[in-house]
């Protein structure tokens, strides 16, 4: 009878946690459940107002493989956005007549006579050269961002092993 009363007092989730999970994990989860139960009973209840549930969690490990996949996809998206932005900016500058204006300014400075100059800025910074350079930079960024994010995950895991990780408090929305 004493076991039944104690089992009812602990609750079925504690029994499942302790029996289903191995060693340290089960003990940690049951300790966390007990702390949660203690903090829930310690909170003052207001008349009719429902308090949001809160959970304090600790981020102790980042999976480097998932960090690598996510950072790769985000860096590819960043590279595409960069390429499209440079294309749009270069097209707008061309449509606004910036290149012709630069050619006229260079011609008037280099050759003050009214003879046409052989200088053409688009030979140096033409659309194909700029987009090729942008594609190269975007490809290098994809590799670098992916490698740096993966390395950061490894470094975080090592520091979290020493210091315990980042503590996060999650709360339910009150609606």
Q: Is residue 87 packed enough to be buried (19+ CB in 10 Å), middle (13-18) or exposed (0-12)? A: middle
What's the gap between Cα 40 and its chain centre? 33
Q: What is the pLDDT of residue 104?
A: 82
Res 111 pLDDT > 90:
no
Q: Please report where in the chains the tokens 């294309």 appear, as a residue.
A: 87
- For the beta carbon of residue 21, count every other beta carbon within 10 angstroms: 14
Query: Given a cut of 90, is residue 34 above it in pLDDT?
Result: no
What's the mean per-residue pLDDT of the chain? Answer: 80
pLDDT at residue 5, as a whole number:
46
Given a cut of 80, whether residue 25 has pLDDT beyond it is: no
* Dihedral, 64, 65, 70, 72 alpha carbons, nearest 10: 100
User: Is the pLDDT score of 76 beyond 90?
Assistant: yes
Regarding pTM above 0.75, the answer is no
pLDDT of residue 168: 92
């Amino acid at each position: 009878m004493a076991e039944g009363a104690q089992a009812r007092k602990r609750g079925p989730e504690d029994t499942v946690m302790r029996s289903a999970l191995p060693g340290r994990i089960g003990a940690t989860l049951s300790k966390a459940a007990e702390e949660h139960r203690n903090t829930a009973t310690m909170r003052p209840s207001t008349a009719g107002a429902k308090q949001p549930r809160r959970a304090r969690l600790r981020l102790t490990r980042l999976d480097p493989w998932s960090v690598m996949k996510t950072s790769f996809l985000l860096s590819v998206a960043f590279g595409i956005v960069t390429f499209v932005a440079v294309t749009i900016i270069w097209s707008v500058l061309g449509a606004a007549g910036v290149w012709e204006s630069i050619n006229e300014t260079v011609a008037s400075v280099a050759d003050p006579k009214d003879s046409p100059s052989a200088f053409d800025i688009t030979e140096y910074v033409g659309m194909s050269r700029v987009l090729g350079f942008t594609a190269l930079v975007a490809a290098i960024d994809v590799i670098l961002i992916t490698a740096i994010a993966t390395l950061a995950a490894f470094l975080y895991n090592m520091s979290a092993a020493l210091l315990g990780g980042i503590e996060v408090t999650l709360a339910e929305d009150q609606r």
